[in-house]
Chain A
Amino acid sequence: MIVLEKRPQPSKAWSYATPLVAVLATMVFGGILFALLGKNPIEAIGTIFWEPLFGEFAFYYRPQLLVKGAPLVLIAIGLSLGFRAGIWNIGAEGQYIMGAIFGAGAGLAFYPLDAFYIFPIMVIAGAFGGWLWAMIPAFLKVRFGTNEILVSLMLVYVAEQMLASVSLGLLKNPEGFGFPGSRNLQSYDSAHNAELIAGSGMHWGVVAALIAVIFAYVLLNRHMLGFHIRLTGEAPRAAKFAGVNPARLILFCLGLSGALAGLAGMFEVTGPSGVVSIDFNVGYGFTAIIVAFLGRLHPVGILLAGGLMALTYIGGEIAQSQLGLPAAAIQVFQGMLLFFLLAFDLLTNYRIRAAQSEVA
């Protein structure tokens, strides 16, 4: 019989190795899945991981990596702080939508004025929108002890309805011939989150994501607040004993993750998307949860995981179009990645040992 034995100390080596092992296991089992679907597994895996980076059309796909990765990283960084403290914001998708609505709304309010301060105001408005949306579950939790998982999740669907409503009403393009959706912010220079270097995919959202990574790293490793976040997650009673105010921590973590998700939405709507429309959100807020865990809730890990996740997205799309793999197979493939990561994560704290059977 095989038994799991708790290690006296979490293994450093395994905590770094598990993401790699998980990616390898995903390739192997994903390959088997693709083979069962009648595709050449090596070609399929190669398409997903190789094509976007070094393939024939890599010049097009590489900027896409930044465009897809930046919101994931930005949102995941915010979520990871809360997750570290055991505060589960599952509603980043809603906060992302609200950030986009507030950001775009602030910009469109100035239309067609041309001024340098419009974009900064939109950034603040976007962050504020996300923050405000996250403050609802935070306040309810602090005041009435409600479950933030349920409240934040349900608010996603409320946000989606608000998005539909403003796309059809408040923010609808007056010159849009009755089609739903706002004016295209890409063609309103003062509000456009343009690429900083043309063709690179590098927009302000990418910069914000990198700043967030550095900020989170410093916070967690060098600051009392970060210490309190980690302490609350690892031993809530000890945190209380250390003098942590749980209510303040909840407000901070949910607020910050909401603001970052709002920023991500705002940078998306003003840049790659350009338009507030009914189908504006594509699930970054949910995928960011996977990214946060894939990155082991560590800022640098999240940066890498965001890149990897963006890669499987883009690679998956290529595999769909070139090899005719069903979209569901790609989703299973991504699901496997999280599954294996969580499974191998066990090895950080436990070792596997063969043992004689014993009733214990």
Chain B
Amino acid sequence: MTTPLLSLQGLTKAYPGVVANDQVSFDIGEGEVHALLGENGAGKSTLVKMIYGLVKPDSGTMMLRGQAFAPPEPRAARSDGIAMVFQHFSLFDALNVAENIALGMENPPPMGDLASRIREVSETYGLPLDPFRTVGDLSAGERQRVEIIRCLLQDPKLLIMDEPTSVLTPQEVEILFETLNKLRSEGTSILYISHKLEEIRTLCDHATILRLGKNVGECVPSETSARDMAEMMVGATLQTPERSGRAFGEVALDVSGLSVPSPSEFGTALKNVHMTVRKGEVLGIGGVAGNGQDELLGVLSGEIQTTADAIKFNGQPIGKLGPTARRRLGVLTAPEERLGHAAAPDMSLTENALLTGSVREGLERNGFLKWAETKSFAEKIISAFDVRTPGPENAARSLSGGNLQKFVIGREVLQDPDVLVVNQPTWGVDAAAAASIRQAILDLAAKGTAVICISQDLDELMEISDSFAALNEGRLSAPRETTGLTVDEIGLMMGGAHGMEVAHV
């Protein structure tokens, strides 16, 4: 038997109140693409942080090509040939590509040499990139290339990629996979972290599945069905959301010719957005992050105001109304960012229930608050949506992401909206909670609510939406019926490969 490139033996890491990794062992072979699969909170990030030297394991050992390996810091891991592409890029918008890469190097060569090396590597691996372009002007896919090239310049033996496709269109994913296949053929091992099963089935040779910090199984992805892997990941039989009947009423929300500048400097302006949602319809809006999703939610919630006629609710112009007035009418929203936008982190769940519930639930009289009613509204959300918390007096930030998301969605759903707009309703939420949130959205639509679901999870949109549109640089594609849409068509609606080309292998 050949020595594996990296061998993990009984790695354990505990944080107060939670064991992030419990006796995790597995091997990554030379030239192998190894998938690390698991739900959010399963301990994937902690594990790779240990490999990358960011976190020290409490116990357990790592062997790199048969040698004991215990990097005290990322620099040591890098000098041993481990490189990592993080999910969140650490790039400076105002600097160009070469400057950004030089910043991450121990001894950066002169800019001219570095630029030519960047060109060389980018051509070899089919990742065309101009070293002198400003990072702020690059698309998410191109920014990821900067990160990948930064890693490849170190000539790594093991490349760790944390959820690399979450910011890419299907076409961009294909290009990435070409690159990764080329790396594999040159003998580089890749540890690929994801929860997207289909991708893992196409790309990876081997998969290790983590659940609640434990290694619960391994499989060869190409020989295992996505459903089986999902069930290993979740540890339970998954329920696919169901919906009954698709009878649409009249148009509830009509957006026409909506153009607004973004309130933030690095945001995306919305350009001439048109859409209609009928009662009982779920409109899914896809697109890579940062293409105007936050702005669209802001415009619909009333945080960003526009011309009155750009948004009509049941024929009535509401573009100039603020959030409270829109709630009174029945247009409710749930933003993506749970802590700090949808909920105030340090306030109790009761206070957070008041945050959007005051108007429709009658939680105030002449400005004076009815705390008892507010508390029972919070309790109603907690019980109806199975929010795991000792009680409504707990601070929002004490809840796990999934539980807080259930609370935030539940708060809007229980207010009986006529129009509900949700942004990334199941982002960072475990599969069981995600299923129940999707079910709640579908149930609401079945009762006649017009729903707009903005999401970057295409599988989710395909599952729950009746029609689909994509945001690309602030423009919304014409909505199309979901049934019959192919992945290619969706990718093109999302803006294709943003000018990127496939690797020339």
Contacts and interface: CB of A to CB of B under 8 A. Distances in A.
Q: Do A and B come from one complex?
A: yes
Interface of A: 5, 8-10, 222-225, 227, 230-231, 234-235, 237-243, 245, 356, 358-360
A68 B254 CA distance: 62
Contact of B323 (A222, A234, A243): A243
Interface residues of B, number: 42
B394 interface: yes
Most chain A CB inside 10 Å of its own CB: which residue of B341, B344, B351, B395:
B344
A355 to B, nearest CB: 10
A227 B371 CA distance: 11
A241 B342 contact: yes
Interface stretch (B85-93, B200-208, B210-218, B353-361): B353-361
Closest 5 CB pairs of A and B: A243-B324, A243-B323, A235-B344, A8-B398, A359-B73
A359 B342 contact: no
Given A223-B369, A360-B54, A234 B394 contact: no
B369 A224 contact: yes
A356 B398 CA distance: 25
Contacts of B301: 241
Contact of B397 (A8, A223, A225, A360): A8
Nearest to A356: B56
B302 interface: yes
Contact of B346 (A234, A359, A360): A234
B347 interface: yes
Contact of B347 (A234, A237, A240, A241): A234
25 contacts: A5-B16, A8-B395, A8-B398, A9-B395, A223-B368, A231-B351, A234-B345, A235-B347, A237-B337, A237-B341, A238-B340, A238-B341, A238-B344, A238-B355, A240-B303, A241-B301, A241-B333, A241-B355, A243-B322, A358-B55, A358-B56, A359-B53, A359-B56, A359-B74, A360-B55
A10 B54 CA distance: 28
Quick one: which of A222, A230, A242 has the most chain B CB within 10 A? A242
Interface string B27-68: 000000000000000000000000001111000000000000
A180 B54 CA distance: 69
B334 to A, nearest CB: 10
A348 to B, nearest CB: 11
B157 interface: no
B364 interface: yes
Nearest to A245: B322
B335 interface: yes
Given A8-B398, A223-B369, A243-B324, 19 more contacts: A5-B16, A8-B395, A8-B397, A9-B394, A9-B397, A223-B368, A227-B369, A231-B347, A235-B339, A235-B344, A235-B347, A237-B337, A237-B340, A237-B341, A238-B340, A240-B303, A241-B356, A242-B323, A358-B56
B327 interface: yes
Contact of B341 (A230, A241, A359, A360): A241
A246 to B, nearest CB: 11
A235 B398 CA distance: 16
A358 to B, nearest CB: 5
Nearest to B56: A358
Nearest to A6: B397
Contacts of A239: 344
Contacts of B337: 237
Contacts of B344: 231, 234-235, 238-239
B104 interface: no
Contacts of B397: 8-9
